[in-house]
């Protein structure tokens, strides 16, 4: 079996056999992709199992599924009753449930009969002793046959839809309640689910208009059986407009409340809206010392017409330790371990130590099996970071990082020590800027020679993130841009200025976000020195996971004597279509493109390298598990035919 095939086999085996034990199974369900049925147990003297069949006039499959979802005969089929009276009682209890389900689907003239071993049961009829006797005959012999016969009749339609103000009993003008919010109109199917959805939209609409107490005060449906129609009247109380009132933080035991308040950007008196509350919760959860945030609304307005809020918080365990092992067909094997304290001094300070150990390959792939392993072939990265949020209760955070690294790519080897200290200012939950100082000493070697260097710079960056989920965004955009001058007068041996920016956007094509388009573009530029004077690890390279998938890690750049030497500018782009097949399974076709250029700005003297691939996503509570297979479309000599990437979260 080839290495690539082994990786695929182990990946799927790990997902499918993720538990510590394996139990016998009657059927195999691949992540729920093909659905599953609770088969009844075999006949026995101690119980009365049954077979179940739904026969719907017109063979409406969707309606048949609605009935099955409402049926206790269906949901409890794997737990048979002990005797015939209990079985008949279960079937009789299903009759009103099925009628309610049919009415909810808009079939108000529906008729339902349940045949238990050939004996019919009907709603509002006395218990059928014949059904009990007929069912008892099957004990310990065979499954009791139960058939649900449904004649739904005609689908009723809405005839009149009236949405009025409960206070004035007058219809809302379109400017106050647009028809696109109500959506239901005369001629639509008279489904209760559609009516309830319209009510929810109406309430949500008024709540977004700063009316926290909006509600549907009364619902008046009138069904006309001969006309097969329904009139529906909704009396809506929009409630008063309100602002956000005092915000009370509760539940903190070890974290300074001032830190939490610095992450609340809403001020008392700001207009109330559900979106403001959602943003508040998302912002507070950026504090790593907290595990959950719940925002409760007061039941009445205060004397100023504002709505008081209560923020209930649960703290996390302060210490965390973790480790991981990963493998890529282009980047080789690697292990990672980390330890962190998320509330070091009681102010949500985070101290984190992280170590990485990886195999240093000459070509970005797996080790050469013909050579004995050597310590010289091991690379490593050790990072220590400290975060002090909310300095003095403000929206300013202190971030200090230290890094020691030994690395090798196809183009160069490097050793370095780096230290950075910055102050970040948060304008809102989506936008921040930061600036500070960076010092790095290192040595790089490549085909152009060896460079011993010292860099002292002033990094400045900004970040904007309006996405709805960090690991699986379906809407919004991200923007990260930075510029760092390393001037000679500060002590830099190579006076350069490095600028880089990445932007990504996400657009959902449907309300359930089952179809999402995602795009990313990255740019970089170095000015101030010739290419051969810039340390190799500071030059731009493309290729590998997170860049142009399908190509080797940091292999796309200008070359010298066939070796990649990096460039002074960078262009990368990716487009993905994220398609959910089920609630847990998705596929992602994608195209990546990019390369680095010798000039300080992309001049397209280098060929743009392009790859395409297909990804598999398994959606979990913490984020999607990602498997991507990519192949170069503009392949050159030495390029691999394909590459495999495994991780958690979307590619970008």
What superfamily in CATH does domain 157-237 come from?
A: membrane protein fhac (3.10.20.310)
pLDDT band at 547 (very low <50, low <70, confident <90, very high): very high
Nearest to 313 by CA among 294, 288, 332: 294
Residue 105 has pLDDT above 60, yes or no: yes
How do 111-116 and 119-122 pair as beta strands? Answer: antiparallel
How many Å is the Cα radius of gyration of the chain? 32
The position carrying tokens 């945030």 is 293
CB 435 within 8 A of CB 408: no
How confident is the model at residue 535, as a pLDDT?
A: 96
Q: What's the half-sphere exposure (Cβ side, CA atoms, 13 Å) at 644?
A: 19
Average pLDDT value for residue range 461-490: 95
Average pLDDT value for residue range 524-550: 94
Residue 205 has pLDDT above 70, yes or no: yes
Terminal-to-terminal C-alpha distance of the chain? 32
pLDDT band at 21 (very low <50, low <70, confident <90, very high): very low
Q: Exposed, middle or buried, 2 (CB in 10 Å: 0-12/13-18/19+)? A: exposed
How confident is the model at residue 59, as a pLDDT?
A: 78
In this structure, what token pair is assigned to residue 271?
């207009």
Average pLDDT value for residue range 545-562: 90
* pTM of the shown model: 0.77
Residue 370 to residue 391: CA distance in whole angstroms = 56
Residue 163 to residue 171: CA distance in whole angstroms = 6
Angle, helices 84-104 vs 61-70, to 10°: value is: 130
> Who has greater pLDDT, 431 or 471?
431
Core vs surface per residue 447-476: b (16+ CB within 10 A) or e? ebeebebebbbebbbbbbbbbebeebbbeb
pLDDT band at 331 (very low <50, low <70, confident <90, very high): low
CA distances in angstroms from 314 to 8, 86, 258, 287, 527, listed in the order given = 40, 46, 16, 11, 48
Average pLDDT value for residue range 473-479: 95
CB 102 within 8 A of CB 11: no
- High-pLDDT (> 90) share of the chain, %: 75
pLDDT band at 32 (very low <50, low <70, confident <90, very high): very low
Q: Where are the alpha helices (DSSP H) in 267-415?
A: 274-284
- CATH number attached to the domain at 243-315: 3.10.20.310
> Who has greater pLDDT, 124 or 413?
413
Nearest to 484 by CA among 439, 535, 417: 439
DSSP assigned state of 191: -
Q: Which residues are paired to 339 by β-bridges?
A: 321, 353
Residue 305 to residue 268: CA distance in whole angstroms = 11
The answer to whether 157-237 and 243-315 have equal CATH topology is yes
Domain 39-151 has CATH 3.10.20: yes
Average pLDDT value for residue range 218-231: 92
| Cα of 338 vs its chain's centroid, Å | 24
Nearest to 214 by CA among 235, 198, 238: 238
Residue 552 to residue 636: CA distance in whole angstroms = 12
How confident is the model at residue 303, as a pLDDT?
A: 92
Instruction: Render pLDDT for 59-79 as a digit per residue (tens, 0 to 9).
Output: 788 899 999 999 999 999 999
Q: Hey, which of 8-17, 42-51, 209-218, 321-330 has the most confident mean pLDDT?
A: 209-218
Contacts of 259 (CB under 8 A, 6+ apart): 287, 347, 348, 389, 390, 393
CATH fold label, 319-648 = Porin (2.40.160)
pLDDT band at 605 (very low <50, low <70, confident <90, very high): confident
Phi/psi for 104 (5° steps) reads: -60, -30
Contacts of 274 (CB under 8 A, 6+ apart): 204, 207, 208
Instruction: Render pLDDT for 377-392 as a digit per residue (tens, 0 to 9).
Output: 778 899 999 999 999 9
- High-pLDDT (> 70) share of the chain, %: 90
Average pLDDT value for residue range 471-493: 96
Phi/psi for 533 (5° steps) reads: -90, -10
Q: What element of type H or E holds 594?
A: strand 585-597
pLDDT band at 325 (very low <50, low <70, confident <90, very high): confident
DSSP assigned state of 301: -
Residue 287 to residue 91: CA distance in whole angstroms = 53
Residue 10 has pLDDT above 60, yes or no: no
Q: Which residues are paired to 629 by β-bridges?
A: 614, 644
pLDDT band at 374 (very low <50, low <70, confident <90, very high): low
How confident is the model at residue 155, as a pLDDT?
A: 94
Nearest to 478 by CA among 648, 649, 652: 652
Contacts of 248 (CB under 8 A, 6+ apart): 308, 309, 310, 311
pLDDT band at 27 (very low <50, low <70, confident <90, very high): very low
Nearest to 148 by CA among 180, 101, 107, 116: 116
- Indicate the average pLDDT of the chain: 88
Instruction: Render pLDDT for 207-224 as a digit per residue (tens, 0 to 9).
Output: 999 999 999 999 999 999
Residue 498 has pLDDT above 60, yes or no: yes
Q: Where are the alpha helices (DSSP H) in 51-105?
A: 61-70, 72-75, 84-104
Residue 440 has pLDDT above 60, yes or no: yes
Q: What's the half-sphere exposure (Cβ side, CA atoms, 13 Å) at 255?
A: 31
Neighbours of 82 (CB within 10 A): 10
Residue 417 has pLDDT above 60, yes or no: yes
Residue 370 has pLDDT above 80, yes or no: no
Domain boundaries, the chain: 39-151, 157-237, 243-315, 319-648
Residue 630 to residue 650: CA distance in whole angstroms = 15
Instruction: Render pLDDT for 237-259 as a digit per residue (tens, 0 to 9).
Output: 999 999 999 999 999 999 999 99
């Amino acid at each position: 079996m080839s290495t690539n095939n082994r990786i695929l086999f182990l990946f799927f085996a790990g997902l499918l056999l993720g538990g510590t034990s394996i139990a016998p199974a009657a059927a195999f369900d691949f992540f729920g992709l093909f659905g599953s049925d609770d088969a009844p147990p075999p006949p026995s003297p101690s119980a009365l199992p049954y077979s179940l069949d739904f026969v719907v006039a017109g063979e409406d499959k969707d309606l048949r599924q609605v009935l099955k979802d409402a049926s206790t005969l269906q949901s409890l089929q794997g737990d048979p009753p002990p005797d015939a009276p209990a079985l008949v009682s279960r079937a009789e209890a299903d009759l009103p449930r099925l009628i309610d389900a049919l009415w909810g689907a808009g079939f108000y003239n529906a008729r339902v009969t349940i045949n238990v071993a050939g004996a019919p049961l009907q709603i509002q009829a006395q218990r059928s002793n014949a059904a009990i006797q007929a069912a008892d005959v099957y004990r310990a012999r065979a499954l009791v046959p139960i058939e649900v016969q449904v004649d739904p009749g005609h689908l009723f339609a809405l005839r009149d839809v009236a949405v009025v103000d409960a206070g004035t009993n007058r219809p809302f003008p379109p400017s106050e309640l647009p028809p696109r919010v109500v959506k239901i109109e005369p001629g639509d199917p008279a489904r209760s689910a559609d009516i309830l959805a319209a009510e929810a939209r109406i309430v949500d609409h008024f709540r977004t208009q700063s009316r926290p107490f909006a509600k549907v005060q009364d619902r008046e449906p009138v069904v006309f059986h001969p006309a097969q129609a329904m009139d529906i009247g909704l009396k809506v109380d929009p409630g008063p407009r309100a602002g956000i009132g005092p915000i009370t933080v509760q539940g903190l035991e070890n974290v300074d409340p001032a830190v939490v308040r610095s992450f609340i950007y809403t001020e008392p008196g700001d207009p109330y809206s559900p979106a403001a509350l959602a943003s508040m919760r998302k912002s507070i959860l950026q504090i790593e010392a907290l595990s959950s945030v719940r925002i409760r609304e007061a039941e009445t307005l205060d004397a100023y017409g504002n709505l008081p809020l209560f923020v209930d918080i649960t703290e996390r365990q302060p210490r965390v330790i973790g480790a991981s092992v990963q493998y890529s067909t282009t980047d080789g094997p690697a292990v990672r371990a980390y330890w962190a304290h998320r509330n070091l001094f009681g102010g949500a300070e985070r101290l984190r130590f992280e170590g990485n150990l990886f195999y240093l390959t000459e070509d970005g792939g797996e080790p050469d099996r013909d050579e004995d392993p050597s310590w010289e072939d091991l690379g490593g990265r050790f990072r220590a970071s400290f975060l002090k949020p909310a300095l003095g209760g403000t929206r300013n955070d202190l971030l200090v990082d230290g890094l020691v690294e030994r690395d090798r790519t196809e183009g160069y080897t490097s050793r370095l020590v780096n230290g950075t200290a910055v102050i970040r200012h948060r304008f809102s939950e989506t936008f921040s800027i930061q600036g500070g100082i960076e010092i790095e000493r290192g040595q790089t070697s490549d085909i152009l020679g060896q460079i011993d260097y010292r860099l002292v710079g002033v990094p400045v960056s900004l970040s904007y993130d309006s996405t709805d989920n960090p690991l699986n965004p379906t809407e919004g955009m991200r923007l990260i841009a930075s510029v760092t001058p390393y001037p000679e007068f500060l002590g830099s041996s190579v006076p350069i200025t490095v600028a880089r920016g990445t932007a990504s956007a996400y657009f959902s094509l449907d309300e359930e976000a089952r179809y999402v388009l995602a795009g990313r573009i990255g740019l970089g530029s170095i000015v101030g020195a010739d290419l051969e004077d810039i340390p190799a690890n500071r030059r731009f390279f493309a290729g590998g996971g997170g860049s142009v998938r399908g190509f080797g890690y940091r292999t796309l750049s200008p070359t010298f004597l066939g070796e990649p030497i990096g460039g002074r500018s960078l262009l990368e782009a990716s487009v993905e279509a994220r398609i959910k097949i089920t609630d847990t399974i998705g596929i992602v076709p994608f195209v990546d493109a990019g390369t680095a250029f010798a000039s300080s700005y992309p001049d397209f003297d280098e060929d743009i390298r392009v790859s395409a691939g297909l990804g598999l996503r398994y959606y979990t509570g913490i984020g999607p598990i990602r498997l991507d297979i990519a192949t170069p479309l503009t392949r050159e000599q030495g390029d691999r035919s394909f590459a495999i990437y495994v991780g958690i979260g979307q590619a970008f």
